[in-house]
Each structure stands twice: as C-alpha cells, then as structure tokens.
Amino acid sequence: MTAIESPNSMFRTLGIGMESNARQYWLFQVAGWSAMGLLSYLSLTLWYNPGQLAPVIHTVLQSVLGIFVSHPLRWVASGTWNMPMVRRVIINSIAVLTASLVWTLLRLYSFTWLTGEPIPLSDWGGWMFASIVVFGAWTFCYYALKYYRHWIMEHQRAVEAQNEALRASEIAQRETLRRLEAEKLIRDTQLRMLKYQLNPHFLFNALNSVSWLVRKGDAPGATDMLAKIGNYLRVTLDHSDEIQHTLEEELETLDLYLGIEKVRFGDRLNISLDVEDRVREAAVPSLLLQPLFENSIKFAVSRTVEPTTIHLDAKLVDGRLHLQVRDNGPGALLPADNQNEEPQGIGLLNVEQRLQSAFGDECEISFDRLQPNGFVVDIGMPAQTLSGRPLTP
C-alpha cells in the first residue's frame, strides 16, 4: 500500500509514468486494508466466531484503524528514501514496531469493548506478531512498488535516450549520405569537364592532319582519316557519359584513335602493347590512355622522321594497377628545375587531374626522360572492377 502515481489507469499506476497522487494512494490504502479485512474474516472470524456480529464489526474496525495507523509509515518511508541503507532499515523498523504496537493496542481494546471478552496477556504476543507482519508487509510493498516505479522510469529514460541516439545517428547518416552524394556529383562533374576538354583538343589536331593531307594532295588518305575520325567520334559520343570503363574498353577506344594517327604517320608510328589478361577488366577513367599516346605522338613521333615506338605496359603490381607508357623519341620538354610547370601539352595535366579527382591520394603519376632517348609516364591506381571488387592476383 503506497503512494502510486499515474494518470488514470491502473496499469499506468503500476507501470509507466507514476507520480505522487493522493487519490491513488488512498485507493490502494482502502483496497489493501479491505483485502486484509476479508482475509481476516475468512481465516479467523468466520472460523472461531461463526454467526456473531461483534467479531465481524471488530474485523471491519481493525482494518479502518489500520488505514490511519499505517499512514504515518508513508511519511517515514518517503523521508528516508535517500538515506543510507542501514539507517533507512533501522528507522523504518522502529516505525513498523511503533505502528504495530499502536494497532495491537487499538485492536485489543476495541475487541474487549465490542465483545466484552478480556484477552489474557499471554495472547498479546500473538496479536503483536500479527501486527508486525502486517505493517512489515505494508512497508515492503511500499518500497517494492517505489523501486519498481523507479526501474520503469529509468528504463523509459534509457529507451528514450537510445531512440534519441538512433534518431541522431539516422540524421547524421542522412547528412553524411547527402554530403557524399554532393561530393560525388562535384567529382563526376569535374571528371566530365576534364574529359570533354580532350575531345576539342583531339578534334583540332585530327582536322589539322586532314588539312595537311589535303594540302599534300593525298585525297584517299584524307578520306580514310575522315572516316576513321567519324567512327572514333561515334564511339566516344555513344559513351560520352561514362566516367569509368574497363581497361579492355579503353584499349578498344585507343585502337580507334591510333588508327587515325597511323593514317597520318604511316611507318613512322609503331605501337607495342603488353597487357596482362587479368587487368583487362580493371576500371580506369575514360580516355585515360589516349592523352598519354597523344603526348608521345606530339613530342616524339612528330619531331623525327625516324620510326618511333610507343609501348604500353599494363600489369598488376602488389595489388595495384600499374600502367606505363613510354616512347623512344626525343622526349617531351620538361620544365626547368626552378619552375613549377607541367610538361608541354594538355594531355599529362588532364590525366593527372582526372586521376586525382577519381582516386585522390590512392593514385600516383610520374614522368621523366629516358636515356639516351625517350619519355616515360608511370601511373599507379587501385586495381578494382567497375563494381568496386578488388582484382585478385
């Protein structure tokens, strides 16, 4: 029997949202003591004094007296709630003994007054013991319900805190996804812009070659080159939205480009490819190799009348895709040691920027002259498929 707190339902009273409420407290007081009176009537009064009115009245009266005698126990229990356990037990035990003594005396005198039967002193101990059991149970129920209430409240707070943490986590995840999507959109836009930068550059060089063939009087060569340019542009436009594709597809596009340049340079341009089969499915930025070959053609093939070979190595090295493009021509013009410049030509700068946009610090690119002649470009990047699965050795 205790002060239970709740809105209006009994379940809320025993469970969630309990707060001090005098109406609920008295409801439990009356219900509890009524149950005690009924139990006393069925187990004692009806058994020892059947058909007698005075014992029945006494049974009812002792429950009414119990309601008011037990009420101060509520103040004691509430007042000692935050005390150390030992002190709390001692104070509540004294309060239970005091209430038991008062209730025992009231029960004894009221029984004698109603029935006219004196109760011998030898029976007082049994009455006192019963009182201690009743008020001890009252205090136990008070603390049990109070502990249960606090457990429910703490559990509810924990659930609310967990839900709040989940909501905050979901919000953070959504913000992270939005940020990643925005970064991906920016990165894809940059890659497309850099890729589209190549097409006008290539087209300008190709048309210059056609013009040169026309001036040379090589009409069949010019016609053949225009056909190859049209075929190349058709393929690249069909895949203009591709930011990445497989190395195999990159080699097919490169072959179209080199076919155009072979018309222009003939036997002066030789191509050598050494590509491992396992790296052909590796994902690479679109039009990665063309600017590298175009750079070699511009600074090697076109600057000498001697045959020039451009060689491509593509292999898996320590779990990474390694690409090397080298030629045996005069070599590109490198910047002076005290200048912060890129080699002549837009190709290498474009490739480096696209690799940085696509892979960040996970890629590297380097270039240098070869001795006695030639120029080499080395590229390293993550070896993975278009689906993001790493290539296995």
How do the domains of the chain map onto residue ranges? 10-171, 218-382
State both tokens at 131.
Answer: 């009182």
The pLDDT of residue 50: 74
Q: Which residues of the chain have pLDDT under 70?
A: 1-22, 48, 51, 180-202, 237-241, 332-346, 393
> pTM for the complete prediction?
0.52
Owner of token pair 């409420």: 21
CA of residue 221 relative to chain centroid, distance: 61
* The domain over range 218-382 is classified in CATH as 3.30.565.10: yes
Q: What is the pLDDT of residues 189-243, one digit of tens each?
A: 555 544 555 456 667 777 777 887 788 787 887 888 888 888 877 777 666 667 7
286: left (phi over 0), alpha (psi -120 to 50) or beta: beta
The pLDDT of residue 2: 41
